[in-house]
Amino acid sequence: MSIDYRERIPNNVHLADDRRLQRALEAWQPHFLDWWKALGPEGFQAKDVYLRTATSVDAKGWASYGEVKMPDYRWGIFLADAVPERKIGFGDFMGQPAWQDVPGEYRAILRRLIVTQGDTEPASVEQQRLLGQTCPSLYDLRNLFQVNVEEGRHLWAMVYLLHAYFGRDGREEAEMLLQRHSGSADNPRILGTFNEPISDWMSFFCFTYFTDRDGKFQLKSLAESGFDPLARTCQFMLTEEAHHMFVGETGIGRVIRRTLEAMKELSTDDPARLRAHGVIDLPTVQRYLNFWCSSSLDLFGSEVSTNAAGYFANGLKGRPDEETQYQDHVALDAILEIEQPDGAGAIKVESVPLRNAMNEVTRKAYLRDCDIGVQRWNRLIKKAGVAFELKLPSERFRRAVGVWAGASFDPAGNPVPAAEWQKRLDQWIPSAADRAHVMSLMKPVTEPGKMAGWLAPPDRGINNLPVEYEYVRL
């Protein structure tokens, strides 16, 4: 279904036929724009950026590229095409027609899920707002802004659901999405990772690799929802999300490539010499991965969760790729063995009803997906003849949510006495010195085609344009 761009709020939901909803969203729009100007990307708002805008929601032809000033980006409301007579695909209501409206008994829970999802979108824009000032190239600057405008659109996607289906509470929640702020002491964002500062581009690449990938898995779970408007909204968001993870994977890959070149030039793996040469040594890359992966693992919630069991039983939130990846979509009698600390420094295994373990099922699928990029980076390292292997940290490492919360395990998953754990933390996640080194490299490079010295150029430009294209007109 193509999108109507003649309207003030581009949409494919026939907004013009619902004057009340249209007026409510048009009243929210200036609040969004005020927020974008105050807490969106700092600087660059008046510059032309080569951005992609969705034009239709089918597999091909949904992207049109052109020079746009960010505040003029056409944020809109796009739902994937409806599947006629779609049925609920899991849980207690499996096989019943999908809901076109919110079932009264699940109203509060659905609202909470939509608000939690919606809260992450502006949070990430806030976290990334200063990065433009230290961009390693115009190509990267444009990718940052593409990610930012799309997160803005994902906020619109959730705000549409709140306004269209949750009445006054929904409108109030939509306002609060603009009032909580990432890292705020009094009114922070809901989920932990979205209050972490993203002060440097290595963190940005790790965030788009690990945290946006949580987005992928959560959106896939919500795309299974029996509440059809939510399912269709999330399905379309996933097409945009793929680019964000591409930015992360290729970003980290380019950092590694540049470091490998420097290791060859200098014939050394000495971090101090490599740092003096202006690149990010591989052990520091590993520490950044440990930080962002462990933080993102918390975003899946507790390993054993009655919330998760309820979401699944009631058809509100399924597993990613529920239809293709699983055979038993009711999961009433199944159990899952869950590892957890036994309180005495060792590990015990407990059998848990599968429905209660759905967060862990999704987290495991996420980790498998995370490992694909890690193995790609390891192939680069191996090909360069360097004996170093990047690894994902164990699920037990540095967790703040779930059965491992507060337990002291190292990144390999081995127990470590608590006092020692704290002392050794700097070996496992970026130390103040690591961060200072990475920050010292963050100098803006804005000449078309030029790259900062700490990362390799990308393999190709955007939409078949050369890497040297002036992606942001300064």
Q: Which is nearer to ligand BYC, 311 or 388 (CB)?
A: 311
End-to-end CA distance of the chain: 36
| Cβ atoms of residues 288 and 282 within 8 Å | no
Region binding ligand BYC by CB under 6 A among candidate stretches 6-14, 54-62, 112-120, 339-347? 112-120
Rule CB under 6 A: say whether 356 interacts with ligand BYC.
no
Q: Which is nearer to ligand BYC, 308 or 381 (CB)?
A: 308
- CA triple 200-366-176, angle to 5 deg: 60
Tokens 């997906």 belong to 369
Rule CB under 6 A: say whether 188 interacts with ligand BYC.
no
Rule CB under 6 A: say whether 205 interacts with ligand BYC.
no
Number of residues that bind ligand BYC (CB under 6 A): 25
Instruction: Map the footprint of ligand BYC across residues 290-319, applying CB under 6 A.
Output: 298-302, 305, 307-308, 317
Region binding ligand BYC by CB under 6 A among candidate stretches 116-124, 281-289, 338-346, 442-450? 116-124
- In the set 103, 188, 192, 453, which binds ligand BYC (CB under 6 A)? 192
| Cβ atoms of residues 192 and 298 within 8 Å | yes
Rule CB under 6 A: say whether 121 interacts with ligand BYC.
yes
Rule CB under 6 A: say whether 401 interacts with ligand BYC.
yes
- In the set 211, 233, 250, 394, which binds ligand BYC (CB under 6 A)? 211
Rule CB under 6 A: say whether 215 interacts with ligand BYC.
yes
Q: What are phi and psi of 171, to 5 degrees?
A: -65, -40
Distance CA 192, CA 188 (A): 9
Query: H helices of 209-352, where?
Result: 212-222, 228-266, 271-276, 282-297, 306-313, 322-325
Rule CB under 6 A: say whether 148 interacts with ligand BYC.
no
Beta bridge partners of 77: 11
Rule CB under 6 A: say whether 228 interacts with ligand BYC.
no
Rule CB under 6 A: say whether 150 interacts with ligand BYC.
no
- In the set 11, 22, 53, 117, which binds ligand BYC (CB under 6 A)? 117
Rule CB under 6 A: say whether 462 interacts with ligand BYC.
no
- In the set 173, 200, 214, 434, which binds ligand BYC (CB under 6 A)? 214
Rule CB under 6 A: say whether 249 interacts with ligand BYC.
no
Which bin fits 4, alpha (ψ -120 to 50), beta or left (φ > 0)?
Answer: beta
Residue by residue, DSSP assigns 355-412 as: GGGHHHHHHHHHHHHHHHHHHHHHHHHHHTT------PPPTTTT-SSSTTTT--B-TT
Q: Which is nearer to ligand BYC, 250 or 302 (CB)?
A: 302
| Cβ atoms of residues 191 and 113 within 8 Å | no
Rule CB under 6 A: say whether 113 interacts with ligand BYC.
yes
Closest approach, Cβ 118 to ligand BYC, in A, equals 9
- In the set 120, 235, 259, 286, which binds ligand BYC (CB under 6 A)? 120
- In the set 140, 151, 173, 360, which binds ligand BYC (CB under 6 A)? 151
Residue by residue, DSSP assigns 74-111 as: ---B--PPPPTT-B--SSTTTTSBPBSS--GGGHHHHH
- In the set 55, 116, 199, 431, which binds ligand BYC (CB under 6 A)? 116
Q: Which is nearer to ligand BYC, 52 or 111 (CB)?
A: 111
Q: What are phi and psi of 146, to 5 degrees?
A: -60, -45
Q: What are phi and psi of 353, to 5 degrees?
A: -55, 135
Rule CB under 6 A: say whether 234 interacts with ligand BYC.
no
Tokens 């591409």 belong to 246
Q: Which is nearer to ligand BYC, 115 or 381 (CB)?
A: 115
**Type of residue at 42:** E
Q: Which is nearer to ligand BYC, 281 or 298 (CB)?
A: 298
Rule CB under 6 A: say whether 11 interacts with ligand BYC.
no
Q: Which is nearer to ligand BYC, 158 or 462 (CB)?
A: 158
Distance CA 312, CA 109 (A): 12
DSSP state of 4: B
Q: Which is nearer to ligand BYC, 294 or 359 (CB)?
A: 359
The token pair at 16 is 């013009």
Burial of 266 (0-12, 13-18, 19+ CB in 10 A): middle
Rule CB under 6 A: say whether 218 interacts with ligand BYC.
yes
Rule CB under 6 A: say whether 284 interacts with ligand BYC.
no
Q: In what order do the strands lie in the sheet with 48-54?
A: 63-69, 48-54, 472-473
Nearest residue relative to ligand BYC (C-beta): 301
- Tell me which residues touch ligand BYC (CB under 6 A): 113, 116-117, 120-121, 124, 151, 191-192, 211-212, 214-215, 218, 298-302, 305, 307-308, 317, 359, 401
